[in-house]
Structure 1
């Protein structure tokens, strides 16, 4: 008798992606330039010979409510930007638990609107509602952006001799979400109240949209990847494998806050595995 296997929490493994999901993508379409694949957080299809559309979708959950609208935009927009796409349109579904106050809804929607206006993005459709089966605020957002054929960037574009660029600190997302959660009590001897307040202020830096757009528009980059679930220890091999290259890093030179190192030591793990949304991994030509 076959045993049912319970899925682990988080994004599914590459093995399950490749065995269950990738073989079942519907009818093949010749206009799809980049279909779903391991290590690629966006898809690309052809509008015409020179114009491509980049599309990414992401769940939004477990986020401090005061910043929920910010991440409805930035999670998916970051994935579009690392492919060289300039975000243009947003679609999102916002699901609310019973008894949600109108003021809370207004705050979330106002945040989404503000980020869209900041980056010139229009919300073309969506769905919002309150349901008894929804235990907490949830959203799924999809961002669409455009790029040209010569400006399309993928994780497979790294070249021999490229330098490895990382923006912000590794594990910053982990630290931010820790100080906002119940887990903070377990690490309060490492992160004092003053440091915790400083870390909380970094929450709106958990996006790679600004730097990804800057790098791609100026032609400074061969490949990019947002360092999300699995941290640098997942993102860097994904870029290397997609590009058919190896890599060398010097761990002592990696941008890490002292608190990140201490927490990793206390829990006998590596900070390189900490989720680091908002930290951009980029392969940069050595002459830049």
Structure 2
């Protein structure tokens, strides 16, 4: 359940600007999905951290402790994937309320362990503290090579904007939680809630994109399509134009939005927590990327827009042909 907004992004930039210069072995410091450190043997160490906070990222009255644990691991693995890396190790820190039962804590940690096993990630330590709200904080390490590394910066005017999968299911799942009386097919409800509770990091898709084709930048869609495309534009010093009609949104998301009298594409663009990959690539590479990802992982890749020179701005073309500023806020 994403709560990012412009003021948060401004705070992040302010804090980053306070940091001293990094040493030469730091390829990328703060400001991307993960830090990148050059190793003595030539590969790159990736490091990322992401917290799941009760009331901000999940609602414990709707979510099982196992799913909370799984999601905490998955969102960090997604950051590693967005850098073209493979997750390897993690540290797990928990802030627990005094009132939590031991069985709840066991289930929470079992969810963390199960998700780590799924992606061959080893837990090598952590910490436990007491607090008012449940917080699961994962510090994750990964690895990649110079040829596979993708940053947010690197997009160039003329590049196509692509994304894996579809948008809006996680946001629609959240709406089902907040509107429990909303009638929807049981199978559709299960799918939408699973996208909200237990997202799947696109590790295989990232491996294919970085190993076989020449993408120029990449990020995972956690804050929302508009916000995360804005991150690429800011880091790459470029503009962008995307097309509403090209953004992949499943019919079930449109159905939920219609019943709630919401705009399905606004739900998809601003909702966040999809953890799809958003990336850019030269037009000459697009067909190869789409084919390779589909064949290798079964996941669809869509072209949703084009990178522009920075001075041309960031825009979205609506279905009726009207052009509006790119919405850059989280849900």
| SS of residue paired to 1:249 | strand
CA–CA distance in 1 between the matches of 2:103 and 2:211?
38
| Residue 184 of structure 2: aligned partner | 192
Unaligned runs of 5+ in 1: 1-8
Does residue 242 of structure 1 match 2:240?
no
**C-alpha contact (below 8 Å) 1:174/1:276 kept by paired residues:** yes
How far apart are 1:238 and its partner, in Å? 2.0
Q: Does the C-alpha gap of structure 1 residues 154 and 265 become closer, same or farther in structure 2, counting only changes over 3 Å?
A: farther
Q: Could you tell me which residue of structure 2 aligns to residue 175 of structure 1?
A: 172
User: Counterpart of 1:254?
Assistant: 247
What is the CA–CA distance in structure 2 between the aligned matches of 1:34 and 1:73, rounded to whole Å?
22
Return the TM-score normalized by structure 1. Answer: 0.81
Q: CA deviation at 1:148?
A: 1.3
* 1:18 has 2:16 as partner: no
Give yes or no for contact 2:162–2:279 (8 Å, CA) kept in 1: yes
Shift of the 224–23 alpha-carbon distance from structure 1 to 2, 3 Å rule, reads: closer
Other structure's SS at 1:154 match: coil
1:32 paired residue number: 26
Please report how far the alpha carbon of residue 268 of structure 1 lies from its aligned counterpart in structure 2 after TM superposition.
Answer: 10
Structure 2: tracts of 5 or more residues without a match: 289-331
**1:197-276 paired onto structure 2 within 5 Å:** 197-202=190-195, 203-219=197-213, 221-229=215-223, 231-256=224-249, 257-259=253-255, 261-262=257-258, 266=262, 270-271=266-267, 272-276=269-273
Q: Cα gap change, 1:66/1:89 in structure 2, threshold over 3 Å: closer, same or farther?
A: closer
CA contact (8 A) 2:28 2:35 kept: yes
Q: What CA RMSD, in Å, does the superposition of the two structures yield over aligned residues?
A: 2.7
What is the number of residues matched between the two proteins? Answer: 268
TM-score of the superposed pair, with normalisation by structure 2: 0.71
Decide which of 149, 167, 171 is 1:152's aligned counterpart.
149
Say whether the 8 Å CA contact 1:82–1:213 is kept in structure 2: no
2:150, 2:217 within 8 Å by CA — same for their partners in 1?
A: yes
The structure-2 alpha-carbon separation of the partners of 1:103 and 1:210, relative to structure 1 and needing over 3 Å to count, comes to farther
Is 91-100 or 191-200 further displaced after alignment?
191-200
